[in-house]
Amino acid sequence: MNNQNKNQQEEELSLKLFIVLTRALESIKRRVEEDIKCLGLNPTEFAVLELIYNKGDQPIQKIGQKVLIASSSITYVVDKLEKKNLLKRRPCPKDRRITYATITTAGTELMNDVFPKHKSAIQEICAGLENNEKKLMIQQLKKLGYYAQGL
């Protein structure tokens, strides 16, 4: 096989990887979404609430960094969660530019009930692989992701 053909095959392989990656995550996401939907939350709202539940109060700006959405979107999501009484805004006394998002009692109670179930749902959704296969995939995905990120 000459170099050109070899290169073409490699390109096909990468393209296939990209497609399979996209499809696999789509399937998983769909299941996770189903798991969350009954709470009246979408994945973004859940992610924000989970962040505050697990990591404590967060400046609104930090939320966007960790959940990877734009600042204008964060405002929107926090608004929604605030309307649902699951979190509230609390101004920072030391820096008046900053607003913290703080989980409410209702939010904590909801997550106490729901988060364990959520984890076990993801466990079931990902049961197509053995534990050691998952560990390897995590490692490889990190390699792949960090490389792409660093470009």
Instruction: Classify 97 as helix, strand or coil.
Output: coil
Amino acid at 118: H
Under rule CB under 8 A, residue 5 binds a copy of itself: no
Choose from DNA, a copy of itself, none: what does 13 bind? Cβ within 5-8 Å by kind.
Answer: a copy of itself
Determine if 141 is a binding residue for a copy of itself (CB under 8 A).
yes
Shortest distance, CB of residue 149 to DNA, whole angstroms? Answer: 16
Among residues 10, 79, 109, 113, the one that binds a copy of itself under rule CB under 8 A = 10
Asked if 2 touches a copy of itself (CB under 8 A), the answer is no
Q: Which of residues 27-56 bind a copy of itself (CB under 8 A)?
A: 27-32
The encoded tokens of residue 59 equal 């400046």
Do 104 and 57 contact (CB within 8 A), yes or no? no
Side chain identity at residue 133, one-letter code = E
Distances (CA, A) of 31 to 34, 37, 53: 5, 10, 22
